[in-house]
Amino acid sequence: MNDLAVLHAPLGPAIAAAIGGVLGRSRFDWGPEVPAFEAELAAWLGVPHVVGVNSGTAGLKLALRALGVGPGDEVITPPNSDIATTAAIHHVGATAVWADIEPDTFNLSPSAAEAAITPRTRALLPVHMYGHPADMPALMELARRHNLAVVEDACLALGASIAGRPVGQWGDIAVFSHAPNKHLGALGSAGSVASVDEALAERVRLLVGYGQLRARSYHREPAGLPQEMLVEGYNERLDELQAAVLRAKLPSLAAWNAARREHAAAYTAALAGSAAGAPVERPGSVHSYRNYVVRVAGRDRVQRRMAEAGVSTALLYVPPLHLQPTYAARGYSRGAFPIAEAAGDELLALPMSPALTTAQRDAVVAALLAALDG
């Protein structure tokens, strides 16, 4: 699906040097790599503030905490995402309110979100599914009209944009995952939080490191300054080793994303006229193709046949969250979010990686077309 050994091979020396640099310095806490990575990713994204965190999941929770979302509040989010999105809402003591998705992009529907607003709604938490941006212009307009905060779950969409404006620049705050299989993956768990709002980013920075100002941490604190604890925080910082690795990989990100788009265009061209529905890319939107997801009737049979032909595929976030055992007590059954349910029945993720070869791509297409014919 995504061969990281092939992707990393050309970067082996750079990654080894990055790790060696951290070991040589042996300053694992509050060292220089994390702030350097934050500045470099901020420049890459065109967002003024980035805070490194130790996972996308932690980033979502910290973003909500920084916005002051908590018990009694409701946050509207789609039911077809990674469970981390909904779990983060519950981790701050708020309630996730699911709203159905758009049938073409599989992203939170602005009209369904609007219908889900109650006097307790505090925020919208759209997810840029598979790398296609959610309809941020419509969601931001909705949020402003109802005085709601907006957190972008951009964990699947680093490099995506709408009208030339990257995801991460639309909402009040945005969260990226640097899990190994995401666009910019660490060698383990990592994430980042981006915001145009300096005060909000500063609150995340406080919360992520115990609640103490980084500038006053024990390595940097000017002599005599108390190590003040300003809020009760967490220990969910990005660590120096992962930051160093991410810095070694960041210069390749634009080329990797371009390769993803090239593979996607080739898949779409090869599937034209077949019974497989290719992903859409809305005019003005740039899809960053973390996943290339096709829509096929009889999906499970198609997947089985492709597996028999030696081609791996994946079901992502299936079944949707409202049908997962952990949320059984919420009392939803099939029919509650029909568009998300239909997507869950019919979507199939094909192999996608910048390191995919033309021959692999052709083999995937041949196996899919044969499976559809069968």
**Interface ranges with ligand PLP (CB under 6 A):** 55-57, 81-82, 84-85, 127, 153, 155-156, 177, 179, 189, 191
Which is nearest to 58 in space by CA: 78, 84, 35? 84
Nearer to ligand PLP, 127 or 371 (CB): 127
Distance CA 366, CA 361 (A): 9
Classified as helix, coil or strand, 346 is: helix
Q: Are 51 and 208 in contact (CB under 8 A)?
A: yes
Shortest distance, CB of residue 343 to ligand PLP, whole angstroms?
A: 14
Strands 74-77 and 121-124 come out as parallel
- The nearest distance, CB 63 to ligand PLP, in angstroms, is 11
Cβ nearer to ligand PLP, comparing 102 with 212: 102
As measured in angstroms, the least distance from the Cβ of 119 to ligand PLP is: 27
- CB 60 → ligand PLP: shortest distance, Å? 6
The span from the CA of 248 to the CA of 187, in Å, is 11
Cβ proximity to ligand PLP, 158 vs 306, nearer residue? 158
Burial of 273 (0-12, 13-18, 19+ CB in 10 A): exposed
Tell me: cis bond preceding 319? Omega within 30 of 0 counts.
yes
**CB nearer to ligand PLP: pick between 35 and 180:** 180
Nearer to ligand PLP, 36 or 87 (CB): 87
Closest chain position to ligand PLP (CB): 56
| Closest CB to ligand PLP among residues 190, 365 | 190
What's the min distance (Å) between Cβ of 106 and ligand PLP?
A: 11
Minimum distance from CB of 316 to ligand PLP (Å)? Answer: 8
> Closest distance between ligand PLP and the C-beta of residue 110, in Å?
18
Query: DSSP characters for 242-309?
Result: HHHHHHHHGGGHHHHHHHHHHHHHHHHHHHTTSSSBPPP--TTEE---SSEEEE-TTHHHHHHHHHHT
Which residue is it, tokens 């193709």?
289
d(CA 85, CA 71): 17
Q: How far is the CB of 153 from ligand PLP (least distance, A)?
A: 5
Burial of residue 272, with CB atoms counted within 10 A of its CB: 0-12 exposed, 13-18 middle, 19 or more buried = exposed
3-state secondary structure of 62: helix
Distance CA 212, CA 258 (A): 40
Length of the chain: 374
Report residue 45 as tokens: 């994204």
Nearer to ligand PLP, 180 or 211 (CB): 180
By beta-carbon proximity to ligand PLP, the closer residue of 157 and 296 is: 157
153 versus 281: smaller Cβ distance to ligand PLP = 153
As measured in angstroms, the least distance from the Cβ of 323 to ligand PLP is 18
